[in-house]
Amino acid sequence: MTTTEAPQDLVGRGNREGAALFRDWFAEIDETARTGGQSAYVFVMGSLNEILKTFDLPVIFPEINSLQTAVRRVAHEYLEEAEDHGYSPDVCGYVKADVGTQIRGGEHPMGQIPRPSLSVLTNACNTYIKWAEIWERMYETPTFTIDIPGTRQAGTQTWQGNSDFEADRKYVETQVRELITLCEEITGKKFDIDKFRQVLTYTNTMSRSWKQLLDLNKSKPSLFNALTDATIYLGVANGFRGTEAGASYFERLVEEMEYKAARGIGQAIEEKYRLLFVGVPCYPIFRRFNELFTDWGGQFVNSTYLWFASGGSNRGFEYDLADPVASLAEGVLISVRDAMDAMFHQNEVLVEMAEDFDIDGVIYHPIKSCRTVSTGLADGRRHFTEETGISSLFIESDMMDRRVVSEAQMKNRIDAFFEGLASRRLAAGVQG
C-alpha cells in the first residue's frame, strides 16, 4: 500500500489511527451491550477471531478490559469488589477486575461491556480456563476450550510430517470444527466458507505485517517503543484480527515504519541503550514505568510480550486458503505454541533477539498477577546471563494491583541498573 500523505502526517500515524480504532471497537462493544446483541469473550493467546468474525460475533477481550481499568487508574475499585465477593488478593488481577466489571453489570470506563453469548479460550494460560468457569457459573455461558498442546521440552518442537505434530494438529482441527458447529448453534447462522476465506486473507496480511513490524525495529535508532507504542499495536492486532480495518491498519503501520527506517527517524527520545522487555507491563503506572527507562535513554526495542500477547503472530504464519479449516488449525497450533514458548522456554528466543536487535540490557518484570509469565523468569534470567553476559534487571510488581507497585523502589533499582550499564560502557571504552 502506498500513501499520498505528507511526511509530517505519516510519522505517528499508527498511534493516532490505532487509538481511533480502539475507540471504534469499544463503541461497537458498548452498542452491543446496549442493544442486547451477541458477543464472544476471547483471550489474546489464541482468540480464534477468524471463526468468530466469520459469524459476525463482536469479540470482547476481558484481559484488555481489565488492563484498561489499570491504565485509567480505577483498577483498585474493581479488584476490591471482586475481593469482597471472595477472591483472594493472590488471584490474577485481570480476573478480579473482570469479576468486578460483571458484578457492576458491565460498567467499565471505556463503555458498557455486554454479557458473553459464548466464551472461547485456549490453554495457553490456565487462568483462562478458571476465568471462563466464572462466566459459566454467572450466566451459564457456553464455554469452548481449544486445547493447544505446547512444546514438550525446550528445543524439541515438532513440525509438519512428524507423527507427533500430526496428532496435535488433528486434535486441534477436531476442536476447531466443533467450535464452528457451536457457533452455528449459538448464532443460528450457517458457516460461510467464502467469508471465512476472506477473514483469513485479512489475518494473513496482519500476521505478515506484524512480523515485518517487529523486524523493522532492528533499525538504529529503533522506530517504536516496544512497551508503549506497541501496546496500541497489540490492541489492534487482537481486536481487529481478521478484519479489513485491521489488515489496512497494519499495512499502513508497516509503511510508516519503513518510511522512518529509510530516513533514520527514531523515537522522540535519544536512544542510548537498547532494551528487551520480558514479562507483562506495569499498567498501574504505565507511562511512568516507561519513563523510568527513557529518562536514561533506554528504549525498549522488542519484548516477549509482543510475541505471546499477539498469540504468536510474530511467526507470521499465513493460512492456506485452499484448505482453510485445516490450515487454521495448523496455524493456531504453531502460533499459540510459539506464544507459550515465549513464556516457558524464552531463553532461546531472547538469545536470538539479543543478537538480532543488538541489545544492551534485558528487563525482567515478573508480576504477582500472572504466574504463567512470571514463574520461570528468575531461573531463566540466571541462565540467560550465564550464557550471554548481557546485563539484566529483575523487578517485581504487578500489571493491575497498585498495592504491590512501589515506584520509588523500582526507580532506585532502575537507576542503579543504568549506572551499571554506563560503567560497563566506560570500561569498554565505548561512547555512551
Partner 1 sequence: MTLTAMKVFEEWRGKSLDDALLECRDQVEAAEFDTVRRWREAGGKVVGHFQVYFPEEIVHAAGMLPFKVRGAPVEPNKADSHFGSYLCSILKTSLELALSDVVEMEMFVSHPICDAARNLAAIWGRNVDYPCQILYLPQNPNSAGSIEYLRHEYDRMRRMAEEVSGREITDDDLRGSIEVFNVNRRLLRELYDIKRETPWLIAAEDAYALVSLAGMIPREEHNELLAELLPKIRQRTTKQEDRVRIVFEGAFCEQPPFDLVRMLGRTSYVVDDDFHIGMRWITEDVPTEGDPLRNLAEAYTEHSSYSPVQHDLRKPKEEMLKARMARAGADAAILAAAKMCEPGLEEQVTYTHALDAAGIAYFVSEFEENMTSFEQLEMQVETFIENLLFA
Interface residue with partner 1, options 47, 101, 117, 127 (CB under 8 A) = 127
Whose cell is 495457553? That residue is 124
Judged on CB neighbours under 10 Å (0-12, 13-18, 19+), 31 is: middle
User: By three-state DSSP, how is residue 242 classified?
Assistant: coil
160: contact with partner 1 by CB under 8 A: no
Give the ranges where 72-143 is alpha helix by DSSP (H): 75-84, 93-103, 126-139
Q: How far is the CB of 369 from partner 1 (least distance, A)?
A: 9
Considering only 112, 151, 212, 388, the residue that binds partner 1 (CB under 8 A) is 151
361-365 and 391-394 as β-strands: parallel, antiparallel, unpaired? parallel
Which residue(s) pair with 393 in the sheet? 363
Cβ-proximal residues to 340 (8 Å cutoff; 6+ apart), any chain? 45, 124, 148, 150, 151, 308
- Cα dihedral sign, 223-225-226-231: negative
> Which of 241, 232, 239 shows the shortest CA–CA distance to 203?
241
344 touches partner 1 by CB under 8 A: yes
Instruction: Check residue 400 for interaction with partner 1 (CB under 8 A).
Output: no
Q: Can residue 80 be called a binding residue for partner 1 (CB under 8 A)?
A: no
Residue carrying C-alpha cell 502460533? 335
Query: Smallest distance from the beta carbon of 104 to partner 1, in angstroms?
Result: 17
Q: How far is the CB of 362 from partner 1 (least distance, A)?
A: 15
Q: Is 86 in the site for partner 1 (CB under 8 A)?
A: yes
Q: Which of 64, 95, 213, 359 binds partner 1 (CB under 8 A)?
A: 95
What cell was used for 31? Answer: 452498542
Map the footprint of partner 1 across residues 351-370, applying CB under 8 A: 366, 368, 370
Give SS3 for 21.
helix
Instruction: From 28-36, 137-145, 192-200, 298-306, give the range in contact with partner 1 by CB under 8 A.
Output: 137-145
Q: How far is CA 388 from the centre of its chain?
A: 26
Q: Is the peptide bond before 221 cis (omega within 30 degrees of 0)?
A: yes
SS3 label, residue 77:
helix
Question: Binding to partner 1 by residue 92, rule CB under 8 A?
Answer: yes
Residue 176 or 230: the one with the smaller Cβ distance to partner 1 is 176
170: contact with partner 1 by CB under 8 A: yes
- Is 403 a binder of partner 1 (CB under 8 A)? no
At its nearest, how many Å lie between partner 1 and the CB of residue 213? Answer: 28
Q: Which of 174, 385, 412, 423 binds partner 1 (CB under 8 A)?
A: 174
Nearer to partner 1, 256 or 341 (CB): 341
Question: Is residue 88 at the binding interface for partner 1, with CB under 8 A as the rule?
Answer: yes
Residue-level length of the chain: 432
Taking CB under 8 A as the criterion, the residue among 9, 80, 84, 178 binding partner 1 is 178
Residue 414 C-alpha cell reads as: 532502575
Q: List the x/- string, 4-33, binding to partner 1 by CB under 8 A.
A: ------------------------------
Distances (CA, A) of 380 to 131, 227, 340: 27, 21, 14
Q: Is 413 in the site for partner 1 (CB under 8 A)?
A: no
Residues making contact with partner 1 (CB under 8 A): 85-88, 90-92, 95, 123, 125-127, 129-130, 132-134, 136-137, 143-147, 149-154, 163-164, 167-168, 170-171, 173-175, 178, 343-345, 347, 366, 368, 370-372, 374-380, 382-383, 394, 396
